[in-house]
Amino acid sequence: MTASTDYTAQEIIVVAGSKILEDNKIVFVGTGLPMVAALLANRTHAPGLIPVFEAGAVGPPLRHGLPVSVGDSRTFTGASYVKGLNAAFELTQRGFADFGFIGGAEVDMYGNLNSTMMGDYPDGYQTPKVRLPGSGGASDMAASCERTILIVPHDKKKFNQQVSYMTSPGHLDGSPGARQKAGMQGKGPYRVITTKGICDFEEGSNRMRLIHTYPGETVESIQEATGFELLVSPDVSEFPAPTVEEIRLIREEIDPNGVFVKRVAK
């Protein structure tokens, strides 16, 4: 279990994401790094992990290479069940998805995510400063998976007091029972995995709270890169560097072509 000394920010995100996934649970996997993390978990501590992709595949063994799309042919071969988008989201709305694994361009302290637009909302909704792809399935997962794991690159502009547009609701305004009052299901955001550390949400306040710092980061350096006041867990600890074997798996077996895990040196 030698620690790697040569890994990238995306690689530690993948390792962190994979460790949060529990064996034998059903995880609704969004596109990009979540796919890599689910594969890594499956190849390491969670061989019984059951991925669900929004285009319809449930429980594929993923032995034909990394999908580049959640609708990719590679998600279907060997799956237990394949229908379309409605079926996948209905499973989720019904309560079958233990975890949802989603990314976003901007997040606030309650885990509300934006992947719609940057700019002046609501007035500038029809003329956004930067138009992002849109929700895709993210807001559906946020609304209906039992717990969600968020991935957001850590950057002061992305960890904001308020998101420009709330695409994927998290703990809303953080008030107790806010999700229930809004008619939502599920416990909402569970972990945030960033390029600098890992957060959970404090019980009661539902505010984002640092629980792990990555090697080379400190509580202070992470607060510095955050656009709101980050709570800090009394048990905050360093997240161990990925092992050489984990990095080998990512680079050689899971994403050998760097489709999602870019080879930018850390």
3-state secondary structure the chain: CCECCCCCHHHHHHHHHHHHCCCCCEEEECCCHHHHHHHHHHHCCCCCCEEECCCCEECCCCCCCCCCCCCCHHHCCCCCEECCHHHHHHHHHHCCCCEEEEECCEECCCCCEECCEECCCCCCCCCCCEECCCCCCHHHHHHHCCEEEEECCCCCCCECCCCCCCCECCCCCCCCCHHHHCCCCCCEEEEEECCCEEEEECCCCCCEEEEEECCCCCHHHHHHCCCCCCEEEEEEEECCCCEHHHHHHHHHHHCCCCCCCCCCCC
Shortest Cβ distance from residue 44 to another protein (Å)?
Answer: 17
Binders of another protein: how many residues, by CB under 8 A?
80
Quick check: 172 binds another protein (CB under 8 A)? Answer: yes
Quick check: 168 binds another protein (CB under 8 A)? Answer: yes
Among 1, 2, 130, 265, binds another protein (CB under 8 A): 130
**Spatial separation of the C-alpha atoms in residues 125 and 65, rounded to whole Å:** 39
Quick check: 183 binds another protein (CB under 8 A)? Answer: yes
Among 77, 162, 223, 243, binds another protein (CB under 8 A): 77
Quick check: 125 binds another protein (CB under 8 A)? Answer: yes
Is 54 tagged catalytic?
A: yes
Shortest Cβ distance from residue 187 to another protein (Å)?
Answer: 9
Only segment of 176-184, 200-208, 222-230, 245-253 that touches another protein (CB under 8 A)? 176-184
Only segment of 6-14, 19-27, 214-222, 231-239 that touches another protein (CB under 8 A)? 19-27
Q: Which of residues 34-73 bind another protein (CB under 8 A)?
A: 48, 50, 54-59, 64-65, 68-73
Nearer to another protein, 28 or 214 (CB): 28
Show the tokens assigned to 90: 């209905």
Quick check: 11 binds another protein (CB under 8 A)? Answer: no
Q: Which of residues 94-113 bind another protein (CB under 8 A)?
A: 94-96, 98, 112
Q: Which of 11, 22, 54, 217 is catalytic?
A: 54
Quick check: 122 binds another protein (CB under 8 A)? Answer: yes
Question: So which residues are the catalytic ones?
Answer: 54
